[in-house]
Chain A
């Protein structure tokens, strides 16, 4: 078996294990984190594109324009402070989504109609 070291963007000889600087966080002076959602065309939905730091909503929107729409990707930008985003728990996915598993009759393909029927 061939073992090889994949060197990570300049880290070629660092033998110490990466610790990430311990548990102390330096976030006291940092600007708040915002999640960015961009809609690229009328009628399509906003998609999450990433995050950035900004002091307030106005700066977040302007920074989002600079970082995420350099190629005319955006007609609409939403910014939400990350702390206000609540997400479902992936650990509970199995039970959380379980009710939909056995309800195939919610889907049009469940229904067999004669070929003569058009537009349905």
Chain B
């Protein structure tokens, strides 16, 4: 099949026209066109032909992202009733609402790949689908709210900004919306810590303690070292992923190592040191044993988190059913009234 270059009608840009009538093509030809679109930063949309593995990889990645947003509401929801002021309470409620919204945008994107919401929820509750392991840690003090905003949302932003250019259209658009909202999350967290860091000795100690507990789990959010792994060259080729784990992690460390100075605090890493040659911060060894433990279900809060989600789903069933019954009843009533 040929592509021909045609001077497009709008603004004189060049468009490559693809012969894309897939019913007449072999799988190899379809894959070639598909890959060419990706290489040219053309988005793949729900009705486009795509390799089955691309679809399945995306379903897993996107649904697990959505699960992470929803489960992520729990550690912070914990402190809404105990926020130190009305302003902080309002801010925290707004942040948690946003996380619910993010989960919904991302579930919607996943559904375009032909999987139902119920099915995804069941995968989460059965343990078949995972969510980001950072949310399996407890939130022990008010300063944890600030630390989570600064570090956890910060790491999420680092991961999500490149995804705004992911190859799958609905996912990249969802990411653009998420990223716009996420920056307030990080700023409110840092600002909260900044205020505490100028307070009493106890408040300062609380900040340092929260940083000490959230730092290592946050940099673990980027996943194992690049060298540790099997292949995911495919995900990079398909532009579902744009940067490697270690690359993103290094950027994050460099950023936080500077920001922590403004808090007058330290990161709990005695090996953290500026490297004049590489122009990056060297940092210490990650405790991968803890990491794998938490991922495999033995973290401090794994059971709590899933129990809370299952409970919410089961106890909310009557609401879903009642709403549906009410809508059906109303529809019948309206039909009767129109007929009369």
Contacts and interface: CB of A to CB of B under 8 A. Distances in A.
Interface of A: 1-14, 17-21, 25-27, 29-31, 33, 49-53, 55-56, 59, 66-68, 70-71, 87, 89-95, 100-101, 103-104, 106-107, 109
Interface string B91-115: 0001001100100110011011001
Contacts, number: 175
B105 A103 contact: no
Nearest to A56: B327
Interface stretch (B80-88, B129-137, B259-267, B274-282): B129-137
Given A2-B227, A52-B108, 5 more contacts: A8-B60, A12-B291, A12-B295, A29-B324, A67-B104
B323 A59 contact: yes
Contact of B117 (A10, A53, A70): A53
A20 B273 CA distance: 44
B188 to A, nearest CB: 14
B196 to A, nearest CB: 27
Interface centre among A10, A53, A87 (most CB of B within 10 A): A10
B119 interface: yes
B249 to A, nearest CB: 12
Nearest to A55: B327
B330 A56 contact: yes
Contact of B232 (A1, A3, A21): A3
Given A4-B226, A53-B117, A67-B104, A101 B244 contact: no
Contacts of A29: 118, 320-321, 324
A10 B115 contact: no
Given A10-B131, A91-B21, A106-B9, A67 B101 contact: yes
30 contacts: A3-B231, A4-B232, A4-B245, A6-B232, A6-B241, A6-B244, A8-B65, A10-B67, A12-B133, A12-B292, A13-B292, A14-B130, A18-B57, A18-B59, A19-B56, A26-B119, A30-B116, A31-B320, A50-B105, A51-B111, A52-B104, A56-B331, A59-B327, A70-B181, A90-B20, A100-B9, A101-B9, A103-B9, A106-B9, A109-B12
Contacts of B39: none
Contact of A89 (B47, B57, B170, B295): B47
A30 B67 contact: no
Interface residues of B, number: 81
Nearest to B30: A91
B235 interface: yes
Contacts of A67: 101, 104-105
Contacts of A107: 9-10
A14 B230 CA distance: 12
A29 to B, nearest CB: 7
Given A4-B229, A52-B108, A21 B123 contact: yes
Nearest to A98: B17
B117 A30 contact: yes
A14 to B, nearest CB: 7
Nearest to B229: A5
A21 to B, nearest CB: 5
B18 interface: yes
B296 interface: yes
B268 interface: no
B45 interface: yes
